[in-house]
Amino acid sequence: MKAPALLLAAATSLAPLPARSDVGAAQIPAKARALADRGRAFHDAGDYPNAITAFTQAYVIAPSPALLFNLAQAYRLQGNCDDAALMYRRYLTTNPPPEQRALAESHLANMERCLHKLALHIPIELPSGSVVVPAPASPLAAIAAAPGRSRRAQIEKDVGVGLMLGGSAALGAAAYFAIQAHDAESEVAAAYAKGGHWNDVAAIDARGQAAATRAKLLGIGGALSVAGGVVSYLVGRSHEAPPVTVATTRHSVELGVRWAF
């Protein structure tokens, strides 16, 4: 339920804390009174942005603790936990009466819980009953938080690792067949050295030629696979996080640039 705003009559809500007992409401400018009445009307109608504008303008002309409380209430009902908490804190520094202090402290505690939820991107329920889902602070933050980016990066990295492992296995097999081809060539040379004939070494030579062909094909394929895997992995790393990082603070957004080598 909506907790009632202070929203005192114009002569009361605009009266600044007097320095002397003879300071009366008659000293309050008429424009400030009119702005306070307008803000109260907007507040009662649920038009909190216009109520905040009117209360702020009235406060500039004639500051008062009551207007601070009214601003805090309007910000709270609008769903602006940050500014509402700020106004409640400022109101509490004016040393209000015990009953109003207790009310302000209760609302301030709720606003601080609201800020904590917003920081964790937890939806909050406004006093009006509507639910606010926190959004990223900026388009850059939305890009940084996009789940598709990290998923794509992981797939590219996994593909890169798979290609490198497959390419390494192919290179290992190529080395094995290269050794077989070399051994066959040595056997053929040794047979000729002992006076052997082509018919004696034809099978060995065919086996050596086949091994050499396999070694060549596997070597080329393995090298290409490893190179492609390295490229795919590096591309995934580059997509893992954007070079621009966004960090939200209480009243601003901090941007940073990440360099990867």
% of residues, the chain, pLDDT over 90: 39
- C-beta of residue 48 within 8 angstroms of C-beta of residue 77: yes
pLDDT above 80 (res 3): no
24 versus 181: the higher-pLDDT residue is 181
Cα 162 to Cα 202, 226, 228: the distances in Å are: 40, 9, 10
pLDDT above 80 (res 13): no
Torsion angles phi and psi, residue 247, rounded to 5: -130, 125
pLDDT above 60 (res 248): no
Band the pLDDT of 135: cuts 50, 70, 90.
low
pLDDT above 90 (res 192): no
pLDDT above 50 (res 200): yes
Q: What is the pLDDT of residue 106?
A: 94
The burial of 184, by beta-carbon neighbours within 10 Å (0-12 exposed, 13-18 middle, 19 or more buried), is given as buried
Average pLDDT over residues 60-87: 93
2-5: long-range pairs with CB below 8 Å, 24+: 2/77, 2/127, 2/128, 3/73, 3/103, 3/107, 3/127, 5/43, 5/69, 5/70, 5/73, 5/74
Band the pLDDT of 20: cuts 50, 70, 90.
very low
Choice among 2-6, 33-37, 83-87, 185-189 with the minimum mean pLDDT: 2-6
Check if CATH label 1.25.40.10 holds for domain 10-134: yes
pLDDT digits 0-9 by tens, 75-126:
999 989 999 999 999 999 999 999 999 999 999 999 999 888 888 878 777 6
List the domain boundaries for the chain. Answer: 10-134, 141-257
Computed over every residue of the chain, the mean pLDDT equals 78
222 versus 201: the higher-pLDDT residue is 222
Q: What is the pLDDT of residue 45?
A: 93
